[in-house]
Amino acid sequence: MSNAKPFRQLHDNSIPLRLPNVWDAGSARLVEALGASAIATTSAGFAWALGYPDGRVLPFDEVVASVRRIVRVLNVPLSVDIEHGYSDDPKTVADHVMRLMDLGIAGINIEDGPDPASLLAQKIEAIKNALVKSGSDLYVNARSDVFLAGLAEKSEQAEESVARGNLYASAGADGLFLPALVQSPDIETIAGATRLPLNVMAVPGLADAATLGKLGVRRLSAGSGISQVVLGKAKALAQDFLNDGRSETLASNPLPYSEIQNLFAGLIKR
């Protein structure tokens, strides 16, 4: 049974839904145990964890396998970043989404990136039509890279984002995600002009969650940030250990073994 409805309701609060994006079952279970009301994946973190670069090259079967592992350990709604849907064909993208629906996800992120806005609109429409035919529900968060990739002149980025958001809303999107949208005046303008709940990504210089809520933001995502920090810390620890071989290097604020084990207690038969 889909849990899209409770996930959708999490976007109705004055304080944005905060999503510390995860990259595997272990990180997902950890974030849920910390009290997260929903879980979202990072496509970059997914790719890196599976030995691929970020950027639409991760085989979709790998995505399905990873999502299956994550769903097994969760009780809260899960939203999956599917990049561009892993195809340029709207029907194929819809088929991909329905495969993930069979696993029990609550939402997806799907992006335009360098593609024409009209293509993402067609994909969203195909997804929604497939959902209607199957009697299913799913929160479709349309990501636009207007700010991230500079898809318009700086003076026109807010206007272009609103135009794309309205196009995606007409196709059936439930939310609008604008990574690299940082400036508060732009955030307030777009939030007030779009028909969709606005999602921004945590980056240096962005206002805090409470302020973002007052500006109209309804969802705040960590993106690949946490996975990058984890890899950065792992790199530093591994380098120190390679350099001097001192055991104390590995005793720098570790999560206790027993606490990690307890995260997965009772999940063996799932």
Question: What are the pLDDT digits (tens) for 119-150?
Answer: 999 999 999 999 999 999 999 999 999 999 99
Helices 60-73 and 25-33: crossing angle in degrees, nearest 10, is: 30
b or e along 159-178 (b: 16 or more beta carbons within 10 Å of the residue's beta carbon)?
Answer: ebbbbbbbbbbebbbbbbbb
- Domains in the chain (CATH in brackets) are 4-227 (3.20.20.60)
Instruction: Answer whether 47's CB lies under 8 Å from 57's CB.
Output: yes
Which are the contacts of 169, defined by CB distance < 8 A and separation ≥ 6?
176, 194, 195, 196
> Rounded to two decimals, what is the model's pTM?
0.96
Residue-level pLDDT at 269: 58
What's the angle, vertex CA 201, arms to CA 158 and CA 74, rounded to 5? Answer: 140
Query: What is the pLDDT confidence band of residue 219, given thresholds at 50, 70 and 90?
Result: very high
> What digits encode the pLDDT tens for the residues 59-112?
999 999 999 999 999 999 999 999 999 999 999 999 999 999 999 999 999 999
b or e along 109-143 (b: 16 or more beta carbons within 10 Å of the residue's beta carbon)?
Answer: bbbbbeeebebbbbbbbbbbebbeeeeebbbbbbb
